[in-house]
Amino acid sequence: MHRYSDLMRFMGRKTDKTSKKDMKIRVFVYGREKYEEKELSDMDALKEYRDSEDVIWIDVQGGYSRADIERIGETFALHPSAVRNSLLSGQRPSYEELEDHIFIIVSQVYVKNDRIEREQIGIFLKKNVLITIQQRPGDVFEPLRKKIRENTGKIRTKGGDFLLFSLMREILDHYFRVLESLGIRIDNIEDRVLKSPGPDIMRSLHELRREILFLKHMVWPMREVIEGLYRDETGIISKDTKKYLRGARDIALQMIEIAETYRDMVSSMTDIYLSSLSYRTNEIMKILTIIATIFIPLTFITGLYGMNFSNMPELYWYWGYPTALLGMLAIALVMLFYFRRKGWM
């Protein structure tokens, strides 16, 4: 007890500020022919699941305190450092093999207001007992819970290691949905770049590039976690489950490649946008140059006849003024015709 208290004393977590009534503990107990789902309010009730032969999934969501997670760690004899790490936020996904259990940190991602948000999940696997510690209510695991309830797929015929794989697969599938939303945003911005590039395009491209890099930095360590599970030496992960993990590893690699492709597409669109701006600037400068060039001889003529010397014969000519205007118009038209023949306008 003292060992846990000393370790937990140094944990600064905002979860302590959350009302404990928001904490939810759901327990799924299942086997081939057995299924049970409970929502617990008493932490002591977890003790009955320590030696069960069935698969146990203990899902803790939001509103927990350090003492709550400490009691779970004591109940299932989890390593103190792993319990401590499960409470620290903002960690990189990681994999850790302990004496008789596995501890991993993963990140589930979702889109909120066109921004990718992440939530850290700590997962313990000890024999057939799997414990998930989530920072807030709500996750991407509802399709998996439905499979457990309705006994569809292979989930009820496998052990706790396959449940862990299934959780990882649901997280990866949701990563694909986030990638899909990024792809839609890329298509929309591409249309704007080609049809009506505006001053807000660069900001949108910058934000999109940042989101892609963020997602890539989430997927890469997830792949490392899957690699760790595949190379497991504790014997907790069966050979059968490792076959599925190999496929999950390939999926993670595929997502990294898609993220790289998206980043290249955004970089190309940035180049296209900058080229478009440069082209528009050149067009404007060309028009202004043509106008200035036309007015050079006109300015010369008006300046010449603006000197007002008394012996300038044209000053007293009756048709001098209209002749000068017609001459300047003729010069402007000839220059416009010449520029058009040259393809300058």
* Domain range list for the chain: 2-275, 278-342
Among 121-135, 271-285, 293-307, the range with the most confident prediction by mean pLDDT is: 121-135
Which one, of 61, 62, 86, lies nearest residue 73 by Cα?
86
Task: Quote the pLDDT of residue 190.
Answer: 82
* Lookup: tokens for 164: 């862990």
Asked if 226 and 248 count as a contact pair (C-beta separation under 8 A), the reply is yes
Cα–Cα distance measured from residue 10 to residue 180, given in angstroms and rounded to the nearest whole number: 40
- Give the CA distances from residue 38 to residues 71, 76, 121, 167, in Å, rounded to whole numbers and listed in that order: 19, 18, 21, 19
Fold matches, 2-275 and 278-342:
no
Cα–Cα distance measured from residue 236 to residue 125, given in angstroms and rounded to the nearest whole number: 8
Which one, of 121, 108, 123, 251, lies nearest residue 171 by Cα?
108
The CATH code for residues 278-342 is 1.20.58
Cβ neighbours around 127 below 10 Å, total:
18
**Global confidence as pTM:** 0.74
Quick one: fold of 2-275? Beta Polymerase; domain 2 (3.30.460)
**Among the ranges given (50-59, 66-75, 120-129, 290-299), the one the predictor scored with the smallest mean pLDDT:** 290-299
What percentage of the chain exceeds 70 in pLDDT? 93
Cα–Cα distance measured from residue 324 to residue 304, given in angstroms and rounded to the nearest whole number: 11
Cα–Cα distance measured from residue 183 to residue 265, given in angstroms and rounded to the nearest whole number: 10
Indicate if the pLDDT at residue 9 is higher than 50.
Answer: no
Place of tokens 């052990």: 159
pLDDT (tens digit per residue) in 204-231: 888 888 888 888 888 888 888 999 999 8
Asked if 76 and 207 count as a contact pair (C-beta separation under 8 A), the reply is no
More confident residue, 312 or 289: 289
pLDDT band of 21, cuts 50, 70, 90? low
